[in-house]
Structure 1
Amino acid sequence: MQCLTEDFISFFKELAANNHKEWFHENKKRYESSVKKPFTVFVGKMIEEIQKVDANLMIEPKDCILRINRDIRFSKDKTPYNLHYTAFISRGGKKDKSIPGFFVRFSPEMVGIMGGCFGPDKEQLLKIRTKIKEDPKTFRKLIEEQQFIEHFGELKGEAMKRIPKEWQQAIEKEPYIANKQFYFVTEKPSDLILSEQLIEELIGYWKIMQPLNDYLTKAIQ
């Protein structure tokens, strides 16, 4: 099923050269018809497919899709709009990025796909580290699974610079315990956006990341 048209990509290419409110308001109807509405349909279809496996995913597209408007309050770049469209499909949606889920970003340059736990708070981080410490073999098996490596490479995240004494021995056995985030990401060519196999291919990525997402979800609960 093809959810998006070539004008989705064209809109963002033109926005890159005209990133100001006047152009956007002149093209507001086009934005609604070529970007917002079809992307909402796409996210809805993704949710439906995931719910076939995960009945606990009780969420709607509006809870997942991030705004096109940029937060420019603390940025030197004052252009008002993002040059991509993004959704975070998880049990917490866009409001809680600490909950592992499926993050997807469409732009004229690429399709970004990310999973894992990107923003755990201190309590959640302690729970993840403790779970790994108690059974590092299970964690290592997940991140070294062949399909996971082929599709996502290695786990990412900023690591602690100073290791507390109580964690030093555990981190020697499993260095990822030092991480502050536990996420993974890959990129696909932007022509995937227009593919009739878009949803099928992305669900394939979701299935590959889900064992590690489940592991992290259980850890923070």
Structure 2
Amino acid sequence: MSYFTEDYTAFFKELAGNNHKDWFHQHKKRYEASVKNPFQAFVGRLIEEIARYDKALHIEAKDCILRINRDIRFSKDKSPYNLHCTAFVSYGGRKDKSIPGIFLRFSPEMVGIMGGCFAPSKEQLHKIRTAIGSDVKGFRALIENKDFVKDFGEIRGEKIKRIPKEFQAAFEKEPLIANKQFYFMSEREPELITREDLLEEMMGYWQKMRPLNNFLINAIQS
């Protein structure tokens, strides 16, 4: 089934040229009908489908979806609204992006699909590096899996310049030990948003990222 109409992307295209509170409030009912409610329904359905495979996932759509309002406190751009919808479906939802899950961004330009560990704490990062160092071969098998590489390419993240002594030997075998984040992403055409197989497509990405996400979850929860 289709969760979205063409007005989903049309709304954001118009908002881009009218990004102020007066216009938004004049079109609030349209926003709710074409954007907010369909996106919440889709995320809720995605959660239900993931929970068929992951019984530990107990979260609601409202706990995963980020607000359309931008945080403009420290930004030069004072536009009040984002031009996309985003959701972080994981055990921690939008409040804890350190827990791997599937992160979605639906915009008029693209469908963004991301996974991995975006913002690990110092303790979690130490645990991830320890897990990688303890099983470099297993970690390599996950990130070099042909389906993973086809859809996500490579692991991304900022890198530290000085490797702690305890990880220097592991770093020689696995350079990703230097990463401060461990995330990956894919982009699809925006036309996917209105397609009837949207849910199936997103579940396909979730299945392909699941082994690496589980490796990272097991590491940070050890």
Q: TM-score, normalised by structure 2?
A: 0.98
The match for 2:138 is 138
Amino acid at match of 2:200: E
Alignment of structure 1 residues 96-115 onto 2, 5 Å: 96-115=96-115
CA RMSD of aligned residues (A): 0.6
Alignment of structure 1 residues 110-121 onto 2, 5 Å: 110-121=110-121
Q: Secondary structure at the match of 2:139?
A: helix
Q: Which runs of 5+ in 1 are unaligned?
A: none
Amino acid at match of 1:29: K
Q: Secondary structure at the match of 2:80?
A: coil
The match for 1:203 is 203
Amino acid at match of 2:79: T
Give me the whole-angstrom Cα distance separating, in 2, the residues matched to 1:197 and 1:111.
14
Give me the whole-angstrom Cα distance separating, in 2, the residues matched to 1:12 and 1:111.
14
Q: Secondary structure at the match of 1:196?
A: coil
The match for 1:188 is 188
Give me the whole-angstrom Cα distance separating, in 1, the residues matched to 2:90 and 2:141.
23
Q: TM-score, normalised by structure 1?
A: 0.99
Q: Secondary structure at the match of 2:66?
A: coil
Percent identity, aligned pairs only? Answer: 67
The match for 2:23 is 23
Q: CA deviation at 1:166?
A: 2.6
Give me the whole-angstrom Cα distance separating, in 1, the residues matched to 2:78 and 2:161.
33
Amino acid at match of 1:65: I
The match for 1:169 is 169
Give me the whole-angstrom Cα distance separating, in 2, the residues matched to 1:165 and 1:126.
12
User: How many pairs does the alignment contain?
Assistant: 221
Q: Secondary structure at the match of 1:59?
A: coil
CA contact (8 A) 2:101 2:213 kept: yes
Q: Secondary structure at the match of 2:185?
A: strand
Give me the whole-angstrom Cα distance separating, in 2, the residues matched to 1:218 and 1:165.
24
Q: CA deviation at 1:162?
A: 1.7
Amino acid at match of 2:40: T
Deviations 1:101-155 (A, max 9, x none): 0000000000000000010000000000001111111100000000000000001
Alignment of structure 1 residues 1-221 onto 2, 5 Å: 1-221=1-221
Give me the whole-angstrom Cα distance separating, in 2, the residues matched to 1:219 and 1:75.
35
Give me the whole-angstrom Cα distance separating, in 2, the residues matched to 1:161 and 1:114.
25
Give me the whole-angstrom Cα distance separating, in 2, the residues matched to 1:110 and 1:68.
17
Give me the whole-angstrom Cα distance separating, in 1, the residues matched to 2:64 and 2:131.
28
Q: CA deviation at 1:214?
A: 0.4
